[in-house]
Homo-oligomer: A and B are copies of this chain.
Amino acid sequence: MIKPVAPDSEFTIRELAQEFDVTPRTLRFYEQKGMISPARRGAARIYSAADRARVDLILRGKRVGFALDEIKEILDLEAIDRGGRERLEPAIERFVARIQVLQQQREDVERAIAELQAGLDWMRERLENRTPPDDVRRRARAFEALAQARLDPWSGASAG
């Protein structure tokens, strides 16, 4: 995930945009928000390996649901450090909260994968119109119930 490059590498906006599958506009937008500060050659932006690493972190942050401002905050930790202990404490609290959200999210992702997988089996089954193996049937019925929101709350949503 993300290829290593030489520390002294340089990239144009388009190169970086292509690599990360975003538009140049997106990178300019991040810059405008103060999340990256590429060097300039004249007016043109030149991205270093460090800039590239930041972009990678930004996009990974996005994928797990961080807002851009939150990601910026993480990227700005250096400033928090210099700011001393008063700034550190609330930052810690937000970090803890964030980690908890992520742990919840991990659980959600696991369930979603399992459920969609079951749904997939179910759909493929319909397509081939064969008699399904027993375990697939069980999962499929579970999904069916879930998809139509008819799951019996006593059996389905149990286990706290």
> A124 at the A/B interface (Cβ < 8 Å)?
yes
Whether the pair A4, B153 counts as a contact (CB closer than 8 A) is yes
Q: How many positions in chain A have a CB within 8 Å of any CB in the partner chain?
A: 71
Bound-state Cα–Cα, A2 to B106, Å: 16
Picked from B7, B91, B154, the residue with its CB within 8 Å of the CB of A7 is B154
Bound-state Cα–Cα, A159 to B53, Å: 15
Report whether over half of chain A's contact residues are helix, strand or loop; otherwise say mixed. helix
Which listed segment binds B: A12-20, A21-29, A56-64, A130-138?
A56-64
- Shortest distance in angstroms between A157's beta carbon and chain B's nearest beta carbon? 5
Bound-state Cα–Cα, A154 to B80, Å: 27
Whether the pair B157, A4 counts as a contact (CB closer than 8 A) is yes
Bound-state Cα–Cα, A50 to B146, Å: 10
How many copies of the chain does the oligomer comprise? 2
Q: Which interface residue of A81, A109, A116 has the most chain B CB atoms within 10 A?
A: A109
Whether the pair A104, B148 counts as a contact (CB closer than 8 A) is no
Whether the pair B56, A109 counts as a contact (CB closer than 8 A) is no
Bound-state Cα–Cα, A60 to B146, Å: 12
Whether the pair A109, B105 counts as a contact (CB closer than 8 A) is yes
Interface residues of A (CB under 8 A from B): 1-7, 9, 49-54, 56-57, 60-61, 63-65, 74-75, 77-78, 80-81, 85, 88-89, 91-92, 95-96, 98-99, 102-113, 116-117, 119-120, 123-124, 126-127, 144, 146-154, 156-160
